[in-house]
Structure 1
Amino acid sequence: MWKRLFSSNKARWQLGLHVLPYAMRLTDVRRKDSLSIRKHETIPLQSGMVENGRVRDKEWVAFELQKKVLEWNCKGREVVLSVPLSTVVIRWLQIPRVPDKEIRDLVDIEIENTLHLPFTHPVFDYVKLSPEHAHLPGLSTLKAPGDEGPQEEKLSLLVVAAPQAAVQSFVDVARAAGLKPVAADVEPLALYRSLEVEWPAIAGAGTMLLNINLSGVDVAIFSGGIPEFIRHIPLSVPFFDETDVTTSLALAQHAVSHMEREGTYGGYLHDLLAEVNRIMNFYQYSMYEGRQKVEQICLTGDFCDLAGLAGHLQERLLAPVYIPGYKHFLAAGDDFAGPAFAVAVGLGLKDVSGL
């Protein structure tokens, strides 16, 4: 499901489905001369429908999605699905340089024996890293029989894995709703894909992506387009009510000002800064031993007043914070909220040709 992890679809219309614990975001996008968004929709979900990174009530979630599929007249269309970051792990791996057809078997051996994933029965994919990424911290080495030293040329890989049952739950829902799932993607990779046209600086070293949603924060740090660190922070906004998602999404239109009026913004900001600062220190001092740090931050998510939050983050974290304006997006309708739909758009841009 995860072939062509970093490629982009540049020609045809494609659906992207981003599933959150409280809502689904569906987009129909294409990148040709410009990035066009033909349709977009947020579908609220009832409490408990999606929990712990998997769909708990497939029948009900499929029913909600099917209503939009019928409305859009898109039954049978191909769709790329999100895999919640809370279920995903990344590992770096070095193996002997072997023919491409043998790589997957070697990775499978390493997953079973030494990568120590926090779940059983994983689905995984990998991407070969270029020589400039061979320095990545945490690279483990798989030695072939008879390999006595480092003189043999190595192949560096990034391995992405998730529990098979979790991924399958989203696939089952999409199929039951009348769609054709052709690939799954990790949320930070989809987010990166939606940003790279508008923000070329994203390709720099130490780029942190913060995607702030009602029920948590997804953090990823990229260098040269490669995710070096990912983490889901289960930090809900104070006004999030899982029994009334529609109202919570409406409040997100002015989240910062609402929390300020309610007197909850200070506590939320304190907790967010503490978690992000801890990750930045880990990246700089534990992963890179002081040689590299987070140089810039990009802020996206459910809040429509991200500017106020960005100012506080920039002041406290001492790194420039960028909020994408999505000026390259040609969206249908004036109600398109780019930062909230960024992951869904990136999913629709994934290249699935030849899969």
Structure 2
Amino acid sequence: MLKSLRRPDAGIGLEIGNGAVRIVHLRTGSDRPEVLQATLEPIPHQKNGDQDSKQTLTALREVVKRTGLSKKAVSVALRPAILTIRDIQIPRVPDEELLSVIEWEIRQLIEFNRESHNLDFIIHNREDQGLSNKYQAMVVVSKKGDLEATVKLVESAGLKVRRLGVPADALCCLASIHPDVNQDMGSAIVSIGHHDSSVTIVQNGKLRFTRQLDFSLETFIADISEQMTIPLDEAADISHQISLVEVGGDTLETKQLRNLGASLLESLTAELNKSFNFYASVSRGGTVSRVYLTGDLAELIGVENFFLEHLGAITAVLHPFKGLQVRGTIPRNNNQFSVALGMGLMPW
């Protein structure tokens, strides 16, 4: 059953991703959140693959114009490219000592200047007093200049920034109210984006673990292009035609595509298995019982069975709008809205 999510007014979630701007406008004051609007605007890429800031602003302004949300306050998902995220373990120390201990630990892994960088963290297992004598923490380091540039970009499009957040928080919030997610089990949300991908493990509405993945739609298409020696635009079209299971009327071409797709996705499942094993080690036996796919490639034919075979966990596509009231029609590419929707659902 969908959990109650009461808040006095509407929530607006915004994701400025590589390839598109996505925004979801919600009414959240009742027992069942209602999606008022959800729209996407592609961002053209330059020939070298870079995303131009002017084109990003143009796409963002188009979304604001289309939705009529000018001057509204939004919750913005920060791009993974400007974040350095690490999961670390620290001793269970008093709250007043947490920041200094975390800062010392994270400096053993990465270099940063406190004057020019922002440091934030989330303790995953604060309530698990008897299970571990250590805290498991997600630490986020970002340049203050990048955060200020994000705020300036959003404000230049006519919006106000209510809060900034990381995609893992948004996915955790979405999972905590989603009717398909068993809250008692460890669940992995695998989000495949055009440029950035991640795995986020949640349980009982809590964020337990997150990690960026060395896999994306962009690399998937590039690998197809290289393996088949075809242009990238042709490889992009083919990526949507791959079936990971046998279908009636299989031809030599479809079998070859299936074998190619499977071989490329095996690198992703191998990386996920490593992440699950690492999570089990730092959480003292935490397991992943369910896997939910969202983002690009989530609707690849046969992907659920492929992941079940390679991960040993029941896998399903996480349809982000399921269980919500939706005014109008659900966007055709709805699997790309999970982060924006989660940001809109987050408490202020």
TM-score over 0.5 for the pair: yes
The separation in 2 between residues aligned to 1:185 and 1:91, in whole angstroms, is 19
1:174 equivalent in structure 2: 154
The separation in 2 between residues aligned to 1:268 and 1:328, in whole angstroms, is 33
TM-superposed deviation, 1:342: 1.2
Summarize the Cα distance change of 1:282–1:166 in structure 2 as closer, same or farther, 3 Å threshold: same
Query: Is 1:69 the counterpart of 2:64 in the alignment?
Result: yes
Summarize the Cα distance change of 1:274–1:309 in structure 2 as closer, same or farther, 3 Å threshold: same
1:300 equivalent in structure 2: 294
Equivalent position amino acid for 2:79 in 1: P
Matches within 5 A, 1:1-355: 10-31=7-28, 32-47=30-45, 57-86=52-81, 87-89=83-85, 90-91=87-88, 93=90, 96-97=93-94, 103=96, 106-116=97-107, 118-120=110-112, 121-126=116-121, 130-132=126-128, 135=131, 139=135, 159-199=139-179, 201-237=181-217, 238-239=220-221, 254=240, 256-257=242-243, 263=257, 264-284=260-280, 286-288=281-283, 291-303=285-297, 305-306=299-300, 308-325=302-319, 326-331=321-326, 332-352=328-348
TM-superposed deviation, 1:178: 0.9
Contact 1:255 1:303 in 2 (8 A): no
Q: Which runs of 5+ in 2 are unaligned?
A: 226-230, 245-252
The separation in 1 between residues aligned to 2:185 and 2:141, in whole angstroms, is 24
TM-superposed deviation, 1:24: 1.5
State the TM-score, normalizing by the size of structure 1: 0.74
**Matched residue count:** 316
CA deviations 1:122-149 (Å, max 9, x no partner) are 3244456643267468638xxxxxxxxx
TM-superposed deviation, 1:95: 6.0
Q: Which moved more, 1:61-70 or 1:119-128?
A: 119-128
2:228 equivalent in structure 1: none
TM-superposed deviation, 1:168: 2.6
TM-superposed deviation, 1:273: 1.5
TM-superposed deviation, 1:22: 1.6
State the TM-score, normalizing by the size of structure 2: 0.76
The separation in 2 between residues aligned to 1:302 and 1:15, in whole angstroms, is 22
1:145 equivalent in structure 2: none
Q: Which runs of 5+ in 1 are unaligned?
A: 1-6, 141-156
Equivalent position amino acid for 1:322 in 2: A
1:139 partner SS = strand
2:189 partner SS = strand
Q: Which moved more, 1:256-265 or 1:208-217?
A: 256-265
Higher RCO (C-alpha 8 Å, min separation 6): 1
Contact 1:137 1:287 in 2 (8 A): no
The separation in 2 between residues aligned to 1:236 and 1:256, in whole angstroms, is 16
TM-superposed deviation, 1:335: 2.9
Summarize the Cα distance change of 1:158–1:188 in structure 2 as closer, same or farther, 3 Å threshold: closer
2:250 equivalent in structure 1: none
Question: What is the alpha-carbon root mean square deviation over aligned residues?
Answer: 3.6
- Among all aligned residue pairs of Structure 1 and Structure 2, give the percentage whose two residues are the same amino acid: 20
TM-superposed deviation, 1:14: 2.3
Equivalent position amino acid for 2:204 in 1: G
